[in-house]
Amino acid sequence: MFFHKQELQHHAKPEKADAVYARKLQEVLGGQYGEITVAMQYSFQAWSAHIPGKYRDLLFSVAAEEFSHVEMLATMIAQLLEKAPVGAVDGAVQSDPTIAAIVGGTDVQHAIVAGAGPRPVDSNGNPWQGSYITASGNLLADFTANANAELQGRLQVARLYHMTDDKGVRDMLGFLIERDTMHQRMWTAAAMELQEKGIETMPVPDKFPRDKNYLDASKQFINFSDGANAADGPWAQGPVTGAPEEGDFEYLPAPNPGVPMPAPTTPDPRFYGTTAKNDTVEKVTAKVKDALHRG
């Protein structure tokens, strides 16, 4: 059950209208790492959590907070668009480079489609997509994905903070930055606890039967680049992360010799518009081989 209370978690009021900045702010509303994504991601993860307890409650709680952040950003964007210029008088764009830059930096669909309101899109107008959501049913995989979402989201909000001098906008973004800080720490702490308690551990999934013939491959850093400095990292030497009982990482300066590639697949007459209806696979194969030989 959802119940909406007409209050904001934090102030969302700009000092002045700014349609160009409203478009920029769309990124952290409807972009891949925006608030719509994390609100829906945490909700679906909660619905996919098959056991009751603190992890499921955590997901539901933070999902609800993220919906409040959607509302804060949508409210801010609407106010940034309020009474903002949505066009230019005839000739102004040609005669004034400043006006041209402003008009060119606005999202015209804010006015045409949304009536000077926010939209569920990113800063380039790309619609928000459900494919942004990660909800696997594995808590460790999901909590790790959540930490990444908060890392990317906080990075984008911090960049947007430096793109405006509006004190009202900065006040809201400053609050969101600190909530993202908490959420980064929270998901990291939850993921670490899962591993420490052995509820879910690395690699994910941890109960998958492993082929003994390939166990060495799980410890080898194979250098596929001409840069050699990756050998200095903890992923190329020392105890295996999270599984010291399996030994040490190994560094391979180059891939092992490969194996022969299979022969090309047999042509299918259905995929060749120039073949006769009674052509067999063998006839088509012969035609292709002959054309390649002549070519």
Mean pLDDT of the chain: 90
**Residue closest to 46 by CA, chosen among 56, 36, 54:** 56
Residue 270 banded pLDDT, cuts 50, 70, 90: low
Q: Which amino acid is at 201?
A: T
Reported as a single tens digit per residue, the pLDDT across 217-269 is 999 999 999 999 999 999 999 999 988 999 999 999 999 999 999 988 876 76
pTM of the model: 0.84
Supply the DSSP string of 227-250, one letter for each residue.
Answer: --GGGGSTTSSSBPTT-GGG-B-E
Q: According to the model, what pLDDT value does residue 63 have?
A: 97
Q: Which amino acid is at 174?
A: G
- pLDDT of residue 43 exceeding 60: yes
Q: Do 76 and 24 contact (CB within 8 A), yes or no? A: no
**In a 10 Å sphere around its CB, with 0-12 CB exposed, 13-18 middle and 19+ buried, how is residue 256 labelled?**
exposed
* Separation between Cα atoms, residue 269 and residue 133, nearest integer Å: 41
Torsion angles phi and psi, residue 54, rounded to 5? -65, -30
Alpha helices in 33-138 (DSSP H): 35-47, 54-81, 92-95, 97-104, 108-112
Q: Which residue ranges make up each domain of the chain? A: 19-196, 212-252, 266-295
Q: Do 89 and 82 contact (CB within 8 A), yes or no? A: no
CATH number for the segment(s) 19-196: 1.20.1260.10
For residues 204-237, one letter each, b for 16 or more C-beta atoms within 10 angstroms of the residue's C-beta and e for the rest, the string is eeeeeeeeeeeeeeeeebebeeeeeeeeeeeebe
Reported as a single tens digit per residue, the pLDDT across 123-132 is 999 999 999 9
The packing angle between helices 35-47 and 54-81, to 10°, is 160
**Residue closest to 157 by CA, chosen among 61, 45, 38, 62:** 38
- pLDDT of residue 92 exceeding 60: no
